[in-house]
Amino acid sequence: MNEKILNEVKSSFEQRFGVEPIVIKAPGRINLIGEHTDYNNGFVLPAAVDQAIYLAVAKSGSSESTLVSLDMDQTYEFSINDFQPTKEKPWANYLMGVVAEIQKSGREVSGFNIVFSGDVPQGSGMSSSAALECGTCFALNELFELSIPKVEMVKMSQKAEHNYSGVMCGIMDQFASMMGSADHALLLDCESLEYRHFPIELTDHIIVLCNSNVSHNLADSEYNIRRKQCEEGVSLLQKYFPGVKSLRDVSLEQLNAHQSELSDVVYKRCKYVIEENERVMSMTKAMEAGEIDSLGEILTIAQEGMRSEYEISCPEIDFMADFANNREDVVGARMMGGGFGGCTINLVNKGSEDQFISELSAAYKEQFNKEITPIKVVISDGVKRI
């Protein structure tokens, strides 16, 4: 827990509003494997991490609400009875979107004040937006005693991003932030929302994230285009296989049988998703069996799929992943997150992580004149009240 940020959020709230707030910690997440499978109703293997958004919240006593982002050094005010998405301060949409979804459910909230800050790097692929949405939903649920079940809060947080921020994200990020468990990964079926916690036991290895500090904005990137391309493939395959509702239901054999009817781009997108689902299941089996080399191989193959088939990588990430995958002290590495920047996730021999970080940093600086930011991974619990 980041006590410094926690204390800053709480004291800033008290100084500004003069009352004692409730305080919520909402974690970011890593994803071991399963990128862009969630909106295709597939499987993912994320885990909540200690980097988090901290939120202090209390009732305002009126219909007016004030949102304060310490990191942005910005404030946004709105009436609980009349609000809509804003282009002026887009970060406020994540919070207002949650309020809108709570209201749609028939539950009532009055005005509130909220101050937040965090140490989840923005644009890093660690889902700072999902942490903010889930933290806001959890905070309002506590504040107004709404008794919203956790899975429903996950769905509300996802819809907030769809309807107020314009990103048609899957449900993985919000689910991991809300439902994470310390020292465990979360195998999630994004169709049924059935989930199972897997112990993360790496023994002689450690997970190291390296932030490229190349940030992306999913709403402005090709994220939504990828989703439409997948839907185009499903639409064609449904003509031949009526039981197909998403790429989750498609086998590689079925896809290959109708490859000639798909554009090259749509075929590559579909192929990647089908194989990525298979990689998720392979990784859970390798984790259970303690087969570390298999984990590394899966990461390495996934990286090539994101680069050449789903085409969501970038030169900086490719350089970092290739650098790692050519080292004997790294079992495997790949890009993590929505794409076009962010972090690589690296499975490194324990004890050699400092040397790996140092040498990658130097090579990256020489190649791009940019710094990487290494991030220590501690697998944590999901959203909670402090």
Residues designated catalytic: 173
* 32: CB partners within 8 A, 6+ apart: 45, 46, 47, 185, 283, 345
User: Structure tokens of 237?
Assistant: 């395959």
H or E element at residue 93: helix 91-104
* 151: CB partners within 8 A, 6+ apart: 179, 193
Q: Specify the residue for token string 């993912």.
A: 44
Work out whether strand 384-385 and strand 22-31 pair parallel, antiparallel, or are unpaired.
Answer: antiparallel
Closest CA to 75 of 84, 65, 83, 85: 65
Alpha helices, DSSP H only, in 194-352? 223-238, 252-257, 264-289, 292-308, 315-325
User: Structure tokens of 316?
Assistant: 């900086």
User: Structure tokens of 280?
Assistant: 């998720």
Q: How far apart are CA 153 and CA 159, in angstroms?
A: 10
DSSP annotation of 352: -
Burial class (CB in 10 A: 0-12, 13-18, 19+), 362: exposed
Q: Specify the residue for token string 């910005």.
A: 74
Q: How far is CA 316 from CA 31, 123, 354, in A?
A: 19, 14, 20
Burial class (CB in 10 A: 0-12, 13-18, 19+), 204: exposed
Closest CA to 335 of 160, 216, 188: 216
User: Structure tokens of 270?
Assistant: 């579909």
CA triple 71-26-3, angle to 5 deg: 65
